[in-house]
Amino acid sequence: MRTVYTCTFRIPDSAIDMNGHVGNLEYIRWMQEIATAHSGSEGWTIDRYRNLRTCWVVRSHHIEYLRPAYAGDVIDLHTWIADFGEWQSPRKYLFTKSGDPRIIVRAETVWVYVDAVTGRPKRTPEEFMTSFDVVAGEEEALRLAGKSRSG
């Protein structure tokens, strides 16, 4: 069971906006991709959700941009589940440059578990909740990811 899931990648030229740094929509895309990868790594694949006729949908995103990132930067993107509610779950994200523990972007998405046929919220399965550890705070997440924090 992975409490903090990390993906490392190099920022492509295509992610850069007219201001010369990573565009806002790229961060959201990367957040969705790593959430899906983390879920799949614990057995909750897209096929499994399809078979259950359920899925997770975004209720809200909150993103705080602290430092810019540029084409060619190597980024560590960390994600974890911060809590479980009856039918929703906040997931946290931290973007850092590889080898540098300073945070570039911190974010949170509130995901809602829904019936894929009706679109209505559905109780989060106990089996899903036992597949993931909850990580309460950023400091703990960075420690578990093997990073120490500064600034």
Least confident of 29-33, 46-50, 101-105: 101-105
Give me the pLDDT at residue 107, please.
98
We report the CATH number of the domain holding residue 66 as 3.10.129.10
> What share of the chain has pLDDT > 90, as a percent?
85
* pLDDT for position 136: 82
Instruction: Round to whole Å and give the CA distance between 130 and 119.
Output: 24
Best CA proximity match to 10, nearest among 79, 102, 73 = 73
Kindly state whether residue 123 falls inside one of the protein's structural domains: yes
More confident residue, 151 or 10: 10
Q: How many domains does the chain have?
A: 1
The per-residue pLDDT for 151 is 36
Domain that holds residue 94: 5-144
Any domain includes 149: no
Which residue pairs, CB below 8 angstroms and at least 24 apart, start in 121-130? 121/87, 121/88, 122/54, 122/87, 123/86, 123/87, 124/84, 124/85, 124/86, 124/87, 124/88, 124/89, 128/44, 129/84
- In a domain? residue 150: no
pLDDT (0 to 100) of residue 145: 82
Tell me which amino acid residue 136 is: A
Provide the token pair at 85.
Answer: 């509610």
pTM: 0.92
Establish if 68 belongs to a structural domain.
yes
Q: Is residue 151 part of a domain?
A: no
In a domain, 135, yes or no: yes
Please indicate, yes or no, if residue 88 is contained in any of the structural domains: yes
Tokens 């993931």, residue? 132
pLDDT tens sequence across 78-91: 999 999 999 999 99
**For residue 53, how many other CB atoms are within 10 A of its CB?**
12
Position 109 in a domain: yes
Closest CA to 6 of 123, 96, 70: 96
Tokens coding 89: 């779950």
